[in-house]
A and B are shown apart, each in its own frame.
Chain A
Amino acid sequence: MINRITYWILVIGFQILVLNHLDLSSYIYPQVFVTLLLTLPLHLKKTYQILIGFGLGLIMDLFIYSPGIHMSACLWFVVIRMLILDRQDLKEHANNKLEYSVRTAGFSPFFYTTLVLIIFYHFYILWLEGIGNINIEYMTITGISSSLLSLTIIGVFQALKLNKYT
C-alpha cells in the first residue's frame, strides 16, 4: 500500500514538476500521470475507479489551474478503460487482485488499450482547451506528438516494472 502511494506521489510529482515545465516544443505536452489510472487494480469496483479518476483529475487541475478539464478527461478515461477491459479476459488477474499492466494483460492488449486511451486523453484535453476556436493542424500535431512521448514514457515505466518482477 505504502509502495503504491509512493509510486502515485512520484508519478504525480514527475508530471507536475518535470513534464509540465518541459519546454521541448510548443507542440509537446505529455500527460504521463494517466498511467496511474491505466494501471489501476483490476478488482477495483467501477464506482471507486470513477471516484479515483475524478480525484486524480482534481489534483491535476489544482496544480495546473485548469478547473474541470483534467477531471472531465480523467472520468472519460476511466469509463473508456472499463469498456475496453470488459472485452479482455482478465478475470483471473482480477481475482488475484493484480493491476493492469503488460505483465497481466500481455503486450498487444496492453499496447492497444494504452494507445487508444492516451490518444483520446490528449486530443480531448486539446479539444476542451481550444473549444470554439480549434486549430486542426495544431491540435493534430500536438495531440500525436504528445501522445507518442507519453506512450514512450509509459512504456519505460512498464519496462522498469517488468524488470523488477523478472
Chain B
Amino acid sequence: MQRLFAFIEHNFHIILFVILQTICGFLIFSLNPYQQATFSKASLGVTSSINKLSSDVYSYWDLKSQNILLQNQISQQFKESFPQSLHYLNDTFLTSDTSMHRLFDAIPAQVVFNTAYKTNNIFIINKGLNHGIKKNMGVISSQGIAGVVLSSNRKFSAVMSLLNTNMKITPHINGQEYFTEMMWDNSKLNCLTINGINKLERINLGDVVSTGNSSLLFPKGIPVGHISKINNMPKSQYFELELKTATNFRDLEYVFVIINNEYSGLNDLLSND
C-alpha cells in the first residue's frame, strides 16, 4: 500500500495531466459545435460497426429460436390459407361443414435423421403420437412436398421421403391433373420421373408440378417440383418427363406435418365408392 501511495505521489503530475486532458476532451467534443459534429460522425461509424458485429453475433445465436418462430408463422399461414381448399372440398364432399372449420392443420417439426442416397429413403422427425401425428399424414417442407408419415411412436415419426420408390403422387401441371404417377427411379438425387402423359398435352420445361385435388394428404397447390427434362420417346405416344423436386432432400431440416382434420370421414366416403 505504501508503494502504491509512493507511486501516486511520485507520478501525481502525470495522473493530474491525464485527468485534466480528459476534462479538456470532454469540453472540446461537447461544447464546440464543429468538433461535436466530427466526434458524433466518427463515433457513429465506430458504434455502428460494433453494433453490427454484436447484432451479427446475436443473430447467429438466435438462429434456432428464429427458425422455430418462422416455422410457427408459416404453420399459421398454412392454417389460414387452407379454407380455400376446404371450400372446394366442402361443395364436393361435405355438406355439413362450415367455412369456419379448417380442413388442414400444419404442425412444425425438425428432421433428426435423413437419408437421400438409398433406394427407399426415409427421414425421422421429432414429433410423434404425442403431437397428434399418425400414419399417412402428408409432410411438406417450406419449398414443397417432402413425404408421407409411415409410422409414429410417442415422440418421433418415420416419414417416407419423396425419394422413395414406393412413394407415388398424382401430378397436377398447368391447372390439369394427370392420372398417372410420378415416382423416384433411384437414378438422380432430387429428381423424379413422370410417365404416361400423352404427347398431345402441352408440357414445357420449367412447368410447375404441384398437388391436385385427388389427394387427401396434401392441400391443393403444394409444389412438388418443376419439369427439368422432356424426353420424346420416338416409338411412344407418351412423354417421359424428369422432375426436379422443390424440396432439397440433402439439406432437409425443418418440415410441417399436414393433418387433414376430416381424413377418416373423407376416406370412408371414398371407400364406399
Partner-B contacts on A (CB < 8 A): 45-47, 49-51, 54, 57, 61, 66-69, 71-72, 75-76, 79, 128-129, 131-133
Query: Could you tell me the distance in whole angstroms from the C-beta of A47 to the nearest C-beta in chain B?
Result: 5
Query: Which residues of chain B have C-beta atoms less than 8 A from A69's C-beta?
Result: 24, 28, 32
A67 touches B41 (CB 8 A): no
| Nearest-neighbor residue (CB-CB) of A82 within chain B | B13
Q: How far is the CA of A148 from the CA of B120 in the complex (A)?
A: 91
Give 6 pairs: A residue, B residue, CB < 8 Å, sorted on A.
Answer: A45-B13, A54-B20, A72-B21, A75-B21, A76-B21, A132-B38
A47-B13 contact in complex given A54-B20, A75-B24, C-beta closer than 8 Å: yes
Chain B residues packing against A (C-beta within 8 Å): 12-13, 16-17, 20-21, 23-32, 34-35, 37-38, 41-42
Query: How far is B21's CA from A68's CA once the two chains are assembled, in angstroms?
Result: 9
CB of B16 within 8 A of CB of A128, answer no
Q: Are B16 and A50 in contact (CB under 8 A)?
A: yes
Which residues from chain B contact A57 at a C-beta distance below 8 Å? 24
Check A68 against B25 for contact (C-beta < 8 Å).
yes
Report how far A61 CA is from B30 CA in the complex, Å: 14
Instruction: Please measure, in the bound complex, the distance between the C-alpha atom of A129 and the C-alpha atom of B16, giving whole angstroms.
Output: 24
Q: Is the interface of A mostly helix, strand, loop or mixed?
A: helix
Report whether A128 and B20 are in contact in the complex, using a CB–CB cutoff of 8 Å.
no
Which among A46, A49, A51 has the greatest number of chain B C-beta atoms within 10 A?
A46
Contact A72-B28, Cβ < 8 Å, known A47-B12, A50-B17, A54-B20: yes
- Given A67-B30, A68-B26, 4 other A-B residues pairs in contact with their CB atoms under 8 A: A50-B20, A61-B27, A71-B23, A75-B20
Specify which of B21, B24, B28, B38 lies most central, judged by the most chain A CB atoms within 10 Å of its CB. Answer: B24
Q: How far apart are the CA atoms of A11 and B42 in the complex, in Å? A: 38
Closest Cβ–Cβ distance, residue A81 to chain B (whole Å): 12
CA distance A153 to B32 in the complex (A): 29
A51 to B12, CA, bound (A): 12
| B16 in contact with A131 (CB, 8 Å) | no
Task: Name the distance in Å between B35's Cβ and chain A's nearest Cβ.
Answer: 6
CB-nearest residue of chain B to A72: B24
Which residues of A lie under 8 Å from residue B23 when comparing CB positions? 68, 71
Give bound CA distance, A46 to B24, whole Å: 19
Specify the chain B residue showing the minimal Cβ separation from A48: B13
Q: Say how far B43's CB is from chain A's closest CB, in angstroms.
A: 11
Q: Are A72 and B25 in contact (CB under 8 A)?
A: yes
- Bound Cα distance from A57 to B29, whole angstroms: 16
- Bound CA–CA A54/B35 (angstroms): 20
Q: A71 with B17: in contact, given A47-B12, A131-B35 (CB under 8 Å)?
A: no
Complex: A46 Cα to B23 Cα, angstroms? 19
Neighbouring A residues of B34 by C-beta, 8 Å: 129
* Complex Cα spacing A61 to B27, Å: 11
B225 to chain A minimum Cβ distance, whole angstroms, is 57
Given contacts A66-B32, A131-B38, A133-B38, contact A71 B24 (CB under 8 A): yes
Question: What's the Cα separation between A132 and B34 when bound, in Å?
Answer: 9
Q: Are B32 and A132 in contact (CB under 8 A)?
A: no
Knowing A47-B12, A133-B38, the reply to whether A128 touches B17 (Cβ < 8 A) is no
Q: Which of A71, A76, A129, A132 contacts B41 (CB 8 A)?
A: A132
A76 to B14 alpha-carbon distance, docked (Å): 11
A72 to B34, CA, bound (A): 17
Given contacts A67-B27, A68-B32, A69-B28, contact A47 B16 (CB under 8 A): yes
Contact of B17 among A75, A132, A133 (CB under 8 A): A75
CB-CB < 8 A to A68: which residues of B? 23-29, 31-32
Docked pose: A79 CA to B34 CA in angstroms: 27
- Report whether B16 and A67 are in contact in the complex, using a CB–CB cutoff of 8 Å: no
In the assembly, what is the distance between CA of A68 and CA of B20, in Å? Answer: 10
